[in-house]
Amino acid sequence: MRLPVLLFFFMFLSSLYAQRCPCTRNLDFTITKTEHNYAGFQDKVTTTTRSAYQAHTDSCRMLAAEIQNDSACRRLCYKWLRWFRDGHISMRAYGSSQMLSETPPPFAFSELDSQTVLLTLPSMSNSYKALVDSMLRVHGPTLQTKPFLIIDCRNNGGGSDNIWAPVKPYLITQPTVTDGRQYWASEDNAAFLLEMAKEKGIDKSQRRYLKSVAADMKKHPGTFLGTMNARRDRSVIVSPNPRKVVILVNQRSASSTENLLLWAKQSKKVTVLGRQTAGIADYGNLSVSVAPCRDWELWIPVMRSNRVAAGRGIDNVGVAPDVVLEGEESGWIEYARKWLAGAKTGAVEPK
């Protein structure tokens, strides 16, 4: 008699869970949060694409009504999100926003020879800002004595532009322009900016700006807020060393790494080597919302770069290297070292 009782008990629990967290509820949560908070929604759902978007949404809602399996429901929600073709929109395990790797990725500074130093930046996560700042403080004197610098950003999926900001004095050769950015105003996004303003590594001016934008969001929901003006760095002090800089990238270099490239390509010192990057940078600053079942999180960009409105977006396109590298990546650092020294390497340079 125990087996039927146990079977009934488990069936009861399964039924109770299904009633507590049906797939339709998860999908509706995903749709609502995206429509209200995603900075790219207005660009992606236009008069031209709205019918396709609605058909896709209706189809997913019909499927959700039939799904009883958690993993199948997550796959369906992800399928719905993929319509936007934005690599910054993601679904992650519950608690991901609070997790930090116990072992930091291999940030490193090393001397390859008497003329060349290598700076390895595997992540732009703001969690590692103190580590990167400390590394550059310690090795700054060495950087100023070496003519050649290689910055390895391969597989760097991005994070925060604050991470690479301390590198700028070693790269700049002339006034530079950085595209402005705007935030999509919603109640959720205002709360996100206020939380963002509390993070470590945010300086006082940024903190004031984020709080100001959050306050404006509450007054003007459903609009873009911020500045359309590009930021111009006119005050330039050119460091004599390094004289030449290579930045290594590949198809997994994305987000803040691509912002670094767009800025660094304005320098006469810098040459980008490698492969076309991922193309995930037009929409950023990811807010986090917890799904109804509290088993996964929805990460959505709340900011849009002004290059989108200017017709210079790079999403799903990427940033092209100045010199294309083929073959095994294990030899790229040595290739870059020889390239900086003027050796003939046989690289494919785009026309």
- DSSP-assigned letters across all residues of 116-177: EEEEE---B-GGGHHHHHHHHHHHHHHHTT-SEEEEE-TT---B-HHHHGGGHHHH--S-EE
Higher per-residue confidence, 7 vs 223? 223
Q: Give backbone dihedrals phi and psi of 128, rounded to 5 degrees, phi first.
A: -105, 15
Position 101 confidence tier, pLDDT thresholds 50, 70, 90: low
User: Residue 253 contacts by C-beta under 8 Å, 6 or more apart in sequence?
Assistant: 153, 154, 155, 156, 157, 261, 274, 277, 278
Q: Give backbone dihedrals phi and psi of 343, rounded to 5 degrees, phi first.
A: -75, 150
Higher per-residue confidence, 80 vs 199? 80
pLDDT tens digit sequence for 212-235: 999 999 999 999 998 777 788 777
pLDDT tens digit sequence for 114-127: 999 999 999 999 88
d(CA 133, CA 121): 12
Using the predicted structure, report yes or no on whether residue 2 has a pLDDT greater than 70.
no
Structure confidence at residue 17 (pLDDT): 45
When pLDDT is averaged across residues 274-299 and rounded to a whole number, the result is 94
Higher per-residue confidence, 2 vs 293? 293
Domains contained in the chain, CATH given:
15-84 (no CATH), 108-340 (3.90.226.10)
d(CA 151, CA 109): 9
Interior angle at CA 175, CA 170 and CA 181, nearest 5: 95
Tokens representing 254 are 């994305």
**CB 275 within 8 Å of CB 324:** yes
**CB 77 within 8 Å of CB 26:** yes
d(CA 12, CA 82): 35
Structure confidence at residue 333 (pLDDT): 97
Q: How far is CA 128 from the centre of its chain?
A: 15
Structure confidence at residue 96 (pLDDT): 75
Directed axis angle between helix 70-82 and helix 50-64, to 10°? 180
Interior angle at CA 343, CA 342 and CA 344, nearest 5: 120
β-strand pairing of 148-152 with 116-120: parallel
β-strand pairing of 323-324 with 108-111: unpaired
How many other C-beta atoms can be found within 10 angstroms of the C-beta atom of residue 205? Answer: 8
**CB 112 within 8 Å of CB 150:** yes
β-strand pairing of 296-305 with 90-93: antiparallel
Most confident of 46-55, 64-73, 88-97: 46-55
Position 60 confidence tier, pLDDT thresholds 50, 70, 90: very high
